[in-house]
Amino acid sequence: MNWIKVFAPASIGNIGPGFDVLGLAIDTLGDTIQAKKIDESIVISEITGFDGLPKEADKNTVSIAASEVLKKLGINEGIEFKIEKGIPPGSGLGGSASSAAAGAFAANYLYGEKFSKKELIGPATTAEAFVSGGYFADNTAPSLLGGATLTREKHPLDIVSLGNIDELLVVIVCPDFKLLTKKAREVLPKNVPMKSFISNMANACLIASAFSKNDYNLFSRCINDEIIEPARASLIPGFLNVKKSALDAGADGCSISGAGPSLFAITNDKQKAEQIGKAMKESFAKSNLESNYYVCKSHKTGTSLVKE
């Protein structure tokens, strides 16, 4: 009965301007799984927390990722999983990626830790792609590695850990509203005006530099996305008002987390963080949307064993 417990943090894809390139792991929200070796096959015996996720091993990213890892290891034995889902599904916080990260990590841990966490990004991303329909590492990479990460190439995967910003507080607001990633992708432009390309690139570069230097002041003025946010804004009821309420409450920046519908806002002031969360929640209420807010920090270590 050697159960292990693994935690994989939620993450924010894009971090504003850095579409499909930047991602950031956050604490407070995440998936926790228990896993143990069994003789054969991969099974999910329990899912708690949020509803609506499949228990079938070939449909859940925990088990798909674990299966990918066992395949790479050439192992024919199995794993039993119990999943405690801590990230609302379809919220834009990388929930399926965190589950995939946890599943890949657990399989690797149970069967000899042959792979580094970086090497687990591939299997986790394959699993996440099965559910999301696209092969993107901007959630699996930060969830596994922690901090901010950059996807340089997808084929083959080339991921760089950028670092952390200690002062950073991220206010996450999840409205009670489903937005399919597929729909959020359909509204994206196929071409980008040169001016917008330059603007997004400049701001994304500064985010990369800010995490590399642990510099909140630099980061605080870079959440500015001229390309993706305007295209998706209308998919989230009340988006512009909620964003305005965050900035009015003192946030240094606010944008959509991944494909949405969750928003994130940033500050380095704890008291302000609470005010920002409340203001955003109230603003969503005006669009008849219930929501929850969470004040998070950057998750430094990424997916790891929970020792009890």
- The single-letter code of the amino acid at 51 is D
Q: Residues 214-253 vs a copy of itself: string with x where CB under 8 A?
A: ----x--xx----x--------------------------
Which of 36, 37, 118, 213 touches a copy of itself by CB under 8 A?
213
Binding flag, residue 300, a copy of itself (CB under 8 A): no
Which of 2, 56, 191, 271 touches a copy of itself by CB under 8 A?
191
Active-site residue, 267 included: no
Cα–Cα distance measured from residue 303 to residue 117, given in angstroms and rounded to the nearest whole number: 8
Which of 54, 193, 230, 234 touches a copy of itself by CB under 8 A?
193
Select from 68-76, 83-91, 189-197, 253-261 the region that touches a copy of itself (CB under 8 A). 189-197
Q: Are 296 and 9 in contact (CB under 8 A)?
A: no
> Buried b / exposed e across 278-307, counting CB within 10 Å, b at 16+?
ebbbebbeeeebebbbbbbbbbeebbbeee
Shortest distance (Å) from residue 194 CB to a copy of itself:
6
Binding flag, residue 19, a copy of itself (CB under 8 A): yes
Cα–Cα distance measured from residue 224 to residue 153, given in angstroms and rounded to the nearest whole number: 23
In the block, tokens 């499909």 appear at 20
Q: How far does Cα 192 stand from its chain's mean position?
A: 25
User: Torsions phi, psi of 304, nearest 5?
Assistant: -155, 165
Binding flag, residue 211, a copy of itself (CB under 8 A): yes
Which of 205, 240, 305, 306 touches a copy of itself by CB under 8 A?
205
Cα–Cα distance measured from residue 4 to residue 285, given in angstroms and rounded to the nearest whole number: 40
Residues contributing to the site for a copy of itself (CB under 8 A): 18-22, 150-153, 160, 162, 188-194, 197-198, 200-209, 211-213, 218, 221-222, 227
